[in-house]
Copies of this chain bind each other. A is one copy, B any other.
Amino acid sequence: MNHSNSDFPMVLLSHRGPVTFQHSESGWTAVRATGGLVNALTAYLAEYLPEAIWVCNAMTDADIAVARMYNGSPLRVALTPTPHLVEFGADATGNERNPRLNLRMVEVGKAEHRDFYSVVANPLLWFIQHGLYEFTLEPEFTEREHNAFERGYVAVNNLFADAVAEQLGAFEGRAFAMLHDYHFYLVGELVRQRYPQIILSHFIHIPWPSPDSWRMLPPSWRDRLITGLLGNDVIAFHTKRFARNFLLCAEEFLDLPTDTDSMTVQFNNRIIKVRHFPISVDIVNLEKVANSPTVAQHVRVLTERFLAQGRQLVLRVDRTDPSKNIVRGFHAFAKLLADHPDLVGRVTFLAILQPSRQDVPEYRDYLAMITATVTEINSKYRLPDYQPIQLYVQNDFALLMAAYQVFDVLIANSLADGMNLVAKEGALLNARNGVLALSETMGVHEELGQFAVSLHPLDVQQQADALHKAITMSPALRRSYSQAAAAAVRRNDIRKWLADQLGDLAALAGQG
């Protein structure tokens, strides 16, 4: 028996949801969340899975107030003209074509959420999975961290598992559940305990490193996280390498039988599939925004400022996260100018950076190091009418959409990156036959590396040489790289990413 998607509605879980609420004079205002993943999921669900329930964290005080008002029931949000709450009943008889989403916002106590988010998930799991600890002194697992794990991570996972299970119950258990990311590694097993026959998948959006990195988590955490994930039917990553690393962990830490040909692992008499589905971008929406008048105005300004008289533009777009490797990128650009003085005055590096996690000391230090590095390099290579590096520390979506159109080289040299959607957005929107320069350790390199110049994240000299190669590439080769990269993105947009996964789940349900 094969099930179409509509037979199996979906319960989706992610930490951030598609909208947050704010208090306003007239009551509540809903605001669309930013971020590629959330936007893409929003568009897809509204279009294809209108009955889906999206379980997410109540982020703001207003979210909590709204969540309490609905008292554990889902609420419905219409997305146009601006997001607003609607009644389920009214909607059914009203404008059914108005795109809408069903949300279940979960309230988490402030102390629990701090332990969950600011002690366990974001510093510890994020740093371990991106390889950002040097280990000599940090981290230490003390009573504080162990308590945060139990009272924060485990407790919050239980809370969200309850909410997911409750929503599955509303569908009499005949729904897929799709769980997302490193916040909820324990949810799969907890839901499985309540619904042994449910089809469950978990997508991990950040790198899954090899067992040696996971060995740096206490066994009491590590083995529970992996066991939690094994509650799912499908565990999915962006790349084959991350999927293989997961199998190695299951084998090494839990002594489970794994098969790297079929990419499966056996656990509790179930066969779990370990898959890779490289995520992509929402092409339709990106192109629509990129063609707006606001963006066109930005394009004119950027062109005039950075591309006059045959000048070229190197672009980077990132959060100021140490994993993004921004400082080494500037060092590479400085070495490019040192090795090729003829490029001084002819190539500008525009870095559009968004401050990230400034409550974490390592992140504050990193942003300070970025600005110091830029100042030093600009002092050395500045000319009367030329500043080598332009640092825009701001978050302006229209500016980004414009910058993507006008780069000659887009550099993304992350130390580690689950995918890196900047590279895909840039490849899609660029209009100058711009070349991608991509770190070989990012997920996106598996798909687009063959149409890009490859970077080694630590090798500053190699990065400088690669930038030179990209800047001096023949127009024919540039065009061929640029078009091939854009075509690769078009072949696998976000709708295909989700449809492939749902097809995989439907096939599993059919086997059941």
Contacts and interface: CB of A to CB of B under 8 A. Distances in A.
A387 interface: no
Nearest to A321: B136
A22 B131 CA distance: 45
B141 A459 contact: yes
Q: Which of A133, A366, A440 has the most CB of B within 10 A?
A: A133
21 contacts: A131-B135, A131-B212, A131-B216, A133-B134, A136-B322, A136-B362, A136-B366, A140-B331, A140-B459, A140-B460, A141-B458, A141-B459, A141-B461, A142-B331, A210-B248, A212-B245, A215-B440, A215-B441, A218-B459, A219-B440, A220-B462
A140 B332 CA distance: 10
Most chain B CB atoms below 10 A, which of A135, A139, A209: A135
Contacts of A362: 136
A450 interface: no
Contacts of A217: 458
A478 interface: no
B137 A456 contact: no
A76 to B, nearest CB: 44
A217 B241 CA distance: 18
Interface in A117-134: 131-134
A143 interface: yes
Nearest to A130: B135
A462 B143 CA distance: 9
A461 B142 contact: yes
B137 A327 contact: yes
Interface of A: 131-137, 139-143, 145-146, 209-213, 215-220, 241, 245, 248, 252, 322, 327-328, 331, 335, 362, 366, 369, 415, 440-441, 456-462
A248 B252 CA distance: 14
A331 B143 CA distance: 12
Contacts of A219: 440, 456
A276 to B, nearest CB: 15
Given A132-B134, A369-B137, A142 B212 contact: no
Contact of A211 (B141, B142, B210, B220): B210
A132 B136 contact: yes
Given A141-B458, A141-B462, A210-B213, 16 more contacts: A131-B216, A136-B362, A136-B415, A137-B369, A139-B458, A140-B328, A140-B331, A141-B461, A142-B331, A142-B460, A146-B461, A209-B212, A212-B212, A215-B440, A218-B462, A241-B252
